[in-house]
Structure formats: structure tokens, C-alpha cells
A = this chain, B = another copy of it.
Amino acid sequence: MLRLSTRGQYGVRAMFEIARGWPHRPVSLKEVSRRQDVSVAYLEQLLGKLRRAGLVVSVKGPGGGYLLSRPPERISIGSILKELEGPVALTACVQDPRKGCVRVEGCVTSLLWRALGQRIEQFLDTITLADLLNTNALRRQVRKEAQSA
């Protein structure tokens, strides 16, 4: 249950590769494709969204590629996933209040989904690309999150 689609997975991995070029070197999709084993065509689709969302800027022409639009510590994993897969929305009634619960009793569970969704978002918003660039920092971060739970 709760599978993350490849859009999100590849998107984060691509952003990780692009983050490695920060702050000067644009990273081409060809390079991302080679390192992460994802087709250029698919990456184009994903990066288009991330560019329109303002997470990266593109540099055209030879030697071009993508650059982070701001420092890696200011780009959370959550912000990437949100653009590629939409907001965390475990159920329809949480995402869209108009699609209300059929019965009052149903809302008891909606409280649950809402609470879980918030926890997931909080986790994903806490981890940034900077953490991915430094595995040790990531381990620390994850442990901190875990022990507090």
C-alpha cells in the first residue's frame, strides 16, 4: 500500500543529480539519464514540471542543462514530490472537502487519514536535497525524526 510512483522516485533522484552541479555547473538530462538509468524522454517530462514550478532553471545550448533555482538546503523532498504527484491526499474526502463523508461515522476515519497525511508531509518537508548530498547528515536527520516519534 501507499506506493510512490516512479515519477516521484525518478524526480527525486534527478534532482539529486542536478543538486550535485550546484551552484555553477548545469547538469544535462543526458547525464542524469546515464547515472540514474532513466530515459531522457521521461526525464524531460518530469523536469518540465519542476521547472514550471520554479524548482530548477534551464540553460539551453551546448554545455547546458538544469540548475537548482535555490540552495539545496532550501528544496525539500516534499516540494519535489508535490509537483510531480500532487499533494499528499490519502483519501478523496481529505483532499476535497466537497466530496464529504457519506455518514458522520465516516468522518471518524477521515480524522485519521488527515493526521497521517500531516505526519507524512511534515517528514518530507523536513528532509532536503542538502541532506541527500551528505549521507551522514541524512542518517542523522532520519534518526532524529525517528527517535522523536
Task: List residues of A whose CB falls within 8 A of some B CB.
Answer: 1-5, 8-9, 12-13, 16-17, 35-37, 77, 81-82, 84-91, 102-103, 105-106, 108-109, 111-113, 115-120, 122-124, 127, 132, 135, 138-139, 142, 145-146, 148-149
Sample 22 A-B pairs with CB under 8 A, ordered by A number: A1-B4, A1-B5, A1-B84, A1-B85, A1-B87, A1-B89, A2-B89, A3-B90, A9-B113, A16-B105, A16-B109, A36-B103, A37-B102, A108-B138, A112-B132, A115-B123, A115-B142, A115-B145, A115-B146, A116-B123, A119-B149, A122-B149
The smallest C-beta distance from A127 to any residue of chain B, in angstroms, reads 6
